């Protein structure tokens, strides 16, 4: 996108460019993960996180009656750390491993390169589009994928709807501008009433497109998706847009192309969208309940046996970060969506 003085962009176009501009976008030019980067995600906090996901995937495959071939697809694989541990865990389950075709969908060429280095020597297909997937059952995994997709914001003022824009007064001065918006026409176009009983709406057209595509594959060939993300389930939506760099919250507009811009998923809305897409089974819980039910504490006990005290403390303090309700345990939610008849509930 070309930026000139007085140019106006809808919020989703602004986020799309800020994060994914081919040359200058945040995710296209730097590796943001880890202590020295801008933020840390669960796979980098503890390998036990990815091991629990591996157990969940293998159990789901069993619930699908152990198909001889199926697709595993990680959406937005970051630095590849989760896939590295998944692959290492699958090595211990040869029958499963022989059945599993591993795919990654990753938008950033730079991160694809980092993933290829991190998961060296393993048979993995990097997809350009989900349409490249063949007609096999599919298990999709999305950890902090949907919160990295651009959103639109709509604001109601005196019973009228406005869409939030970003006004580039000049390259250094950016400000929000809310412009009148024909919500009825938009809702007719997307065939979905997003503004019902709301004063503020956050909506990602791209996330809806992904869900539609993914669930049409699940409907056709079986399987499901596991979504792990920041989020809340209240009916009422709120403004959750935020920018993060150097492990600190930043001003969104001052961070153009230099910080991660995210939002909290509204799982109530996602459930409504799923309802419009067909007859699916969806279930949701917190990250704390999910990881605990899958046995993260028992695994930690095994791992820390015969380890020095300092190592034991490290293992458990990392787990605390993942499951404590004041850290990631409560704010992070886990959602599983499968075909209506499947009803796989492990971890929930
Ligand atoms: C917040 S990071 C999460 C990375 C990783 N899942 C983790 O937990 O560490 C979001 C990831 O999604 C990727 N991504 C964002 N939009 C995408 C899209 N439309 N298609 C594919 N990948 C995308 C980003 O490049 C990045 O790898």
Question: What tens digit of pLDDT does each residue of 128-160 get?
Answer: 999 999 999 999 999 999 999 999 999 999 999
Q: Does the pLDDT value for residue 88 go beyond 90?
A: yes
Instruction: List 10's β-bridge partners, or say none.
Output: 165
Specify the pLDDT at position 172. 82
pLDDT 10s digits, 212-247 = 999 999 999 999 999 999 999 999 999 999 999 999
CA of 149 to the centre of ligand 1 (A): 8
Is pLDDT above 80 for 5? no
- Are 96 and 90 in contact by the 8 Å Cβ rule? The answer is yes
Per-residue pLDDT tens digits for 187-209: 999 999 999 999 999 999 999 99
Q: CA 126 to CA 107: how far, in whole Å? A: 10
The residue among 292, 284, 288, 291 whose CA lies nearest residue 233 is 284
Q: Locate all alpha helices (DSSP H) within the chain, ordered by sequence.
A: 11-20, 26-29, 42-45, 47-63, 81-90, 94-99, 109-118, 183-190, 205-221, 267-277, 287-293, 296-304, 309-323, 328-331
User: Ligand 1 pocket test: which of 29, 31, 76, 263 has the largest number of ligand atoms within 8 Å of its C-beta?
Assistant: 76
What pLDDT score does 78 carry?
A: 98
Map tokens 């796979």 to a residue. Answer: 43
pTM over 0.75, yes/no: yes
**224, 239, 275, 334 from 341: Cα distances, Å:** 12, 36, 15, 20
- How confident is the model at residue 40, as a pLDDT? 95
pLDDT of the residue at 119: 94
Ligand 1 atom nearest the C-alpha of 108 is 25
Q: Which atom of ligand 1 is nearest to the CA of 206?
A: 19
- What pLDDT score was predicted for residue 181? 98
pLDDT digits (tens, 9 = 90+) for 20-33: 999 999 999 989 99
pLDDT tier, 6 (very low <50, low <70, confident <90, very high otherwise): low
Considering the chain, what is the average pLDDT of its residues? 96
Alpha-carbon distance 307 to 291, whole Å? 22
Residue 78 Cβ contacting ligand 1 at under 6 Å: yes
What mean pLDDT is predicted for residues 71-77?
98
Of residues 2 and 169, the one with the higher pLDDT is 169
Contact 53 CB / ligand 1 (< 6 Å): no
**How far, in Å, are 214, 239, 251, 254, 255 from residue 242 at the CA level?**
27, 9, 8, 11, 10
Give 28 Cα–ligand 1 centroid separation in angstroms: 11
Q: How many residues are there in the chain?
A: 348
Q: What does the pLDDT average to over 320-331?
A: 96
- 178, 168 contact by CB (below 8 A): no
Work out the pLDDT band at 35, boundaries 50, 70, 90.
confident
Q: Taking phi first (over 0 means left), then psi (-120 to 50 degrees means alpha), and beta for anything else, what does residue 158 get?
A: left
DSSP 314-348: HHHHHHHHHH-TTTHHHHEEEEEEEETTT---TT-
């Amino acid at each position: 996108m070309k930026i000139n003085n007085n140019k106006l962009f809808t919020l989703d176009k602004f986020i799309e460019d800020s994060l994914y501009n081919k040359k200058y976008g945040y995710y296209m030019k730097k590796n943001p993960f880890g202590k020295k980067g801008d933020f840390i995600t669960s796979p980098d906090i503890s390998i036990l996180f990815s091991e629990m996901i591996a157990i969940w995937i293998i159990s789901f495959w069993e619930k699908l009656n152990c198909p001889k071939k199926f697709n595993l697809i990680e959406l937005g694989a970051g630095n590849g750390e989760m896939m590295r541990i998944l692959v290492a865990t699958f090595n211990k389950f040869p029958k499963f491993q022989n059945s599993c075709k591993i795919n990654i969908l990753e938008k950033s060429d730079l991160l694809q390169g980092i993933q290829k280095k991190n998961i060296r020597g393993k048979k993995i297909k990097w997809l350009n589009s989900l349409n490249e997937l063949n007609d096999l059952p599919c298990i999709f995994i999305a950890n902090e994928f949907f919160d990295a997709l651009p959103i639109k914001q709509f604001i109601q003022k005196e019973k009228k709807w406005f869409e939030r824009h970003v006004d580039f007064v000049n390259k250094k001065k950016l400000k929000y501008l809310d412009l009148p918006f024909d919500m009825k026409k938009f809702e007719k176009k997307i065939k979905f009433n997003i503004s019902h009983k709301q004063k503020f709406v956050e909506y990602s057209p791209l996330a809806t497109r992904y869900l539609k595509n993914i669930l049409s594959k699940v409907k056709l060939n079986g399987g499901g998706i596991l979504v792990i993300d920041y989020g809340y389930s209240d009916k009422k939506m709120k403004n959750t847009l935020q920018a993060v760099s150097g492990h600190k919250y930043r001003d969104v507009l001052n961070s153009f192309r230099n910080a991660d811009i995210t939002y909290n998923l509204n799982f109530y809305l996602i459930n409504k969208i799923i309802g419009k897409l067909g007859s699916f089974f969806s279930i949701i819980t917190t990250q704390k309940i999910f990881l605990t039910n899958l046995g993260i504490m028992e695994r930690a006990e095994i791992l820390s046996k015969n380890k020095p005290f300092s190592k034991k403390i490290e293992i458990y303090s990392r787990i605390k970060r993942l499951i404590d309700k004041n850290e990631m345990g409560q704010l992070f939610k886990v959602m599983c969506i499968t075909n209506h008849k499947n009803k796989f509930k492990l971890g929930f």
